[in-house]
Amino acid sequence: MSTFGIRLAAATAERGPFCVGIDPHASLLEAWGLSDDVAGLESFALGVVEAVAPHCSVVKPQSAFYERFGSRGVAVLERVISESRAAGALVLLDIKRGDIGSTSQAYADAYLDPASPLASDAVTVSPYLGFGSLLPFVETATRFDAGLFVLAATSNKEGPEFQQAVTTDEFGGRGVAATVLEHLRALNGEAVPLGSFGAVVGATLEDDRGLDFAFNGPVLAPGFGEQGGTVQDVRRIFGTAASRVLPSSSRGVLRLGPDPVAMRDAVLRTNDELRALTGPGS
């Protein structure tokens, strides 16, 4: 099996970089005319998979919206993962886990070990117990050719309180977000064509916060679409690194359901727009 970075580069070259979040908000279930229960969850989530997974490079289920229904909701998430991958999409499971030692290892085993029914191509993780706390995730991702996307400069208004704080000289005297990117640079090294360790950076940032995105890995950019991020913002924030960015949106596509054609067409149209602005020679 090839590394996540290799698989991601191939998938985005074939299908485009748009990442679709499969997030069954209660309000979306209602808008689709579905009940806010496991039956509604299953109809919604698998309907989205059928409409978009054959056409986008990456889907991103948010685990919390399935976990709220307990074990039966997690069973639906397992189907979302397996059926999305069967349709040719890579699965980036949005879990934002961050813990230490054996607990961190258990999370890594749950979401990255192919023996687990929740095993995904990549997951989101939080570095705020120290980047070294992610070592079990890093080692497990490396062992199973999976990927990680580490929170760096997120689009929520509370983020700068931590992410723009400056580290001590012992840790380079940089901003926390910049330190995260430097760790990712070291992990990715000279991987070709792309490293497997990425960052999460919001598509709605007012500027690039002085961050250096040349860390040879992918960038997940939430906040795209309904939350205000545009194709032009991707180019403005990420510059020459824009071709490695996965702009992510959920509601912008999901609100078009339950019409599968409308959701599919939104994916195809957005990928065309992103290719035109961020592709080679743009």
Classify residue 92 by its DSSP letter: E
Q: What is the pLDDT of residue 279?
A: 56
8 A C-beta contact, residue 179 and residue 134: no
DSSP letters of 16-83? -S-EEEE---HHHHHHTT--SSHHHHHHHHHHHHHHHTTT-SEEEEBTHHHHTTTHHHHHHHHHHHHH
Note the Cα 166 to chain centre separation in Å: 26
Interstrand relation of 90-97 and 58-61 (parallel, antiparallel or unpaired): parallel
Q: How far is CA 3 from CA 7, 122, 142, 150, in A?
A: 6, 11, 8, 17
Residue 135, token pair as written in the block: 């070592």
Check: CB of residue 5 under 8 Å from CB of residue 218.
yes
Q: pLDDT for 4-18, tens place per residue?
A: 999 999 999 999 999
Q: What is the rounded average pLDDT for all residues in the chain?
A: 94
Q: Name the nearest CA neighbour of 76 among 147, 263, 97, 84.
A: 84
- pLDDT of the residue at 156: 86
Instruction: Delineate the domains of the chain, giving CATH numbers in brackets.
Output: 4-276 (3.20.20.70)
From the list 7, 10, 14, the residue with the least C-alpha distance to 144 is 7
pLDDT (tens place) for every residue of the chain, 282 residues total: 799 999 999 999 999 999 999 999 999 999 999 999 999 999 999 999 999 999 999 999 999 999 999 999 999 999 999 999 999 999 999 999 999 999 999 999 999 999 999 999 999 999 999 999 999 999 999 999 999 999 999 988 898 888 888 988 777 788 999 999 999 999 999 999 999 999 999 999 887 778 999 999 999 999 998 888 899 999 999 999 999 999 999 999 999 999 999 999 999 999 999 998 765 555
Contact 263, 257 (CB under 8 A): yes
Where in the sequence numbering do the catalytic residues fall?
96
Query: Residues 141, 4: contact at Cβ < 8 Å?
Result: yes
Q: For the full predicted model, state whether its pTM sits above 0.85.
A: yes
Structure confidence by residue, pLDDT tens digits, 223-280: 998 888 899 999 999 999 999 999 999 999 999 999 999 999 999 999 999 998 765 5
